Chains A and B, each alone.
Chain A
Amino acid sequence: MIRDITIGQYYPADSVIHRLDPRVKLMGALLYMVSLFLFQGLAGLLLITVFLAACIGLSKVPLSYMVRGLRAIVALLVFTSVFHLFLTPGEHVLFRFGIVSITMEGVANAVFMLFRLIYLIVGTSIMTLATTPNALTDGLEKALRPLEKIRVPVHAIAMMMSIALRFIPILIEEVDLIMKAQMARGADFENGSLIKRVKNMIPLLVPLFVSAFRRADDLAMAMEARCYVGGAGRTKMKPLRYAKRDYVAYLILAAYLAGVIALRAV
């Protein structure tokens, strides 16, 4: 039940996208998002489609995994496209019914918005599906390193992020287990009034917090036992280094963004 929640689930595969440096993928995701909001017209959309299709193909992740994230936002998709459809003013009125009217511009807007949102979810999910959470935080840490100059505790933030990510599935499992154990004692998490339901959460939340604190304590102890003292002077077993493919990827990204901007003018 609760286990079906997936947060940034990694899909193991051996592909160019998987092997890229996480910094490239982070940058790529960022530029891709920018491009989604920059593009205008069909030509731009076409270029983005080609780029996205290429990335999906290269990543070797089954399309069904990327589309899965869309299920959660179906309501949002319907909502925004309906809004754009009916509320965009324009000259070419296609259809009028009382005060409601659908314009040519409205249709175009709705379609583009729909594509934007779908492409946003699918595109960014490539990054999370093809990068392990650890690589992602490593990449983030290194990319944000310059901020250390202004006393931002980049290492600590990255460490906290990777621990948090690591604990999400563990906690989900724990919730599942405690829920089952309390259900075996007759607890009911589904029925009753709102107040009753909130009260019924106590037998779930107390053990969950107790175990989360115990785990945190154990982890802190284990880290200290291995002489962890924070980021200063710490080296990495697998330091991030750009390979040739990463530079090529940056070039492709730059060309892609330039293309999207250039097509705006068309």
Chain B
Amino acid sequence: MSIILDKVDYVYSADSAYEIRALNKISLTIEDGAFIGIIGHTGSGKSTLIQHLNGLLKATSGGIYFNGRDIYEPDYDLSRLRMQVGLVFQYPEHQLFATTVFDDVCFGPMNQGLDKNEAGLRAFEALKNVGMAEEVYYQSPFHLSGGQKRRVAIAGVLAMKPEVLILDEPTAGLDPKGRDEILDLIADMHQKLGITVILVSHSMEDVAKYVQRIIVMNDGSVLYDGTPKEVFSHYRELEAVSLAAPQVTYLMHELRAAGIVADDGATTVEEAKESILKAFGRKGSV
């Protein structure tokens, strides 16, 4: 049970003067239950990559295998794939359309062929999962705040009960509080529902705190692929492609260079705290 990409290439506007090579020989394996972060600067091909995972874009060359089956086989049911691999687009709140929050969330399950009751149940559960208060269920989605709209949009995908949930920059344009709330929510869903989560982001800090594996994209290729610790150990190379490791990485490298700590692999503030405390031979809170 996994998604395998085999040398996937994608070219936008092929055979024209505006041809753009967005993906270049991408080979990846995404295991079940993983929590993966994809980072890369603007235009590195992140959004293009994830649109391949549910068959919205068809690779110019290369193959994609979902649970062992080639999704480009002529008789493969792409609409089912799209429900198994839920994709939340960037600024998903711009895609809300129904007259009530509840109806909008029901849209996905209804398309799956569920009846009204069952779809309603799914919607209810999904809205609860994203922490929406019940009193807004029957309001117009257009009257909610930006962060709330985004939750509703995420619920709209969750209600289809996907096995894999992909979110394209779910925190774009939110304030720090809204950002943390959404990220906590996603981490929570990964834990509680046991689904595979792929999180696309610009921010190393966001990603480092939550994911188990980071894929760094650059110019349509995978530059690094590994645990946050492995990836951030290349912090100098990351800078060369206009990305940066989290601030604590820099701090820890400085501290190690100064001979204060032995291990500079911390990627979150928590881990850094631990190793600094360890270095001073103490335990507990500061």
Contact = CB atoms under 8 A, between A and B. Distances in A.
Interface of A: 3-4, 11, 62, 65, 177-178, 180-188, 202-203, 206-207, 210-211
Given A185-B156, A186-B79, A180 B111 contact: no
19 contacts: A62-B17, A180-B51, A181-B95, A183-B82, A184-B157, A185-B108, A186-B79, A186-B82, A186-B83, A186-B107, A186-B108, A188-B111, A202-B97, A203-B95, A203-B107, A207-B96, A210-B94, A210-B142, A211-B94
Contacts of A3: 13
Contact of A185 (B51, B94, B157): B157
A184 B51 CA distance: 9
A167 to B, nearest CB: 16
Contacts of A65: 17
A95 to B, nearest CB: 41
A178 B96 CA distance: 10
A214 to B, nearest CB: 9
B10 interface: no
Nearest to B85: A184
A183 B107 CA distance: 11
A65 B97 CA distance: 38
Contacts of B86: 184
Nearest to B111: A186
Interface of B: 13, 17, 51, 54, 56, 79, 82-83, 86-89, 92, 94-98, 107-108, 111-112, 142, 156-157, 160
Contacts of B142: 210
Contacts of B111: 185-188
A61 B230 CA distance: 50
A177 B82 contact: no
Given A184-B54, A185-B160, A186-B82, A203 B92 contact: no
A182 B108 CA distance: 9
B89 A186 contact: no
A203 B97 contact: yes
Contacts of A177: 89
A224 B111 CA distance: 43
A114 B88 CA distance: 50
A41 to B, nearest CB: 38
A266 B11 CA distance: 54
Contacts of B98: 203, 206
Contacts of A11: 17
A185 B97 contact: no
Contacts of B79: 186, 188
Given A181-B92, A182-B107, 6 more contacts: A178-B94, A180-B56, A181-B95, A207-B95, A207-B96, A210-B94
